[in-house]
Amino acid sequence: MENRIPLIGEKFPRMIVKTTHGEKTYPDDLNGKWFIFFSHPADFTPVCTTEFAAFQKRADEFRKLGAELVGLSIDQVFSHIKWVEWIKDHLKVEISFPVVADDTGEVSKKLGLIHPGQGTNTVRAVFIVDPEGVIRAILYYPQELGRNIDEILRMVKGLQVATDNEVALPANWPNNELIGEEVIIPPATDEETAKKRKEAYACFDWWFCHKKLA
């Protein structure tokens, strides 16, 4: 079977892994929670170190949303442990989330994370997974570009709002240039509903209606 990145809407593949917090089974161990599963190219590298510090500084914000963080690279677990110690000792940031040691490369192959032009290094990928174990969003970065952790946090918030309220969210939500923090009503599918939409909501047209969250 071809190794590829799973698609949005598919179940996150089940895996038993070694981590800095012991053996884990994903997504089972996080059933009922949102989680962010992210890969980094290698331990003891500058960009990855800045990312881990940035993730940790927002860890409480993720947890307030009921979301957990899980890191991964193809380094061995002792390398992860030493790197996490280094971050604590030198940067005064204590990493509280588990880091998967994918030294066999099996998980990375299953998720399609091996960079074709960079040997065995994993790419900077992010999977946002909902409480049902369904992949809701995927981000994929080159090695030279560090991630915007605030955007990942915004995505989790936005996906939760969209799911809980059956709405869509505009660009740059909650600071959209046209409708601010309001949300978008799903388009009408028949003429009668289209007419009612314009009567019930603020609309630019029947297909573009919006409202404030309750």
Alpha-carbon gap, residue 70 to 118, rounded angstroms: 23
Q: Is 203 a residue of the active site?
A: no
Q: Which long-range contacts (CB under 8 A, 24 or more apart) does 28-31 make?
A: 30/68, 30/70, 30/129, 31/131, 31/133
Rounded Cα distance, 123 and 144, in Å = 10
- Residue 5's closest CA among 156, 103, 143, 107? 107
Catalytically annotated residue among 30, 36, 48, 185: 48
Residues carrying an active site annotation: 48
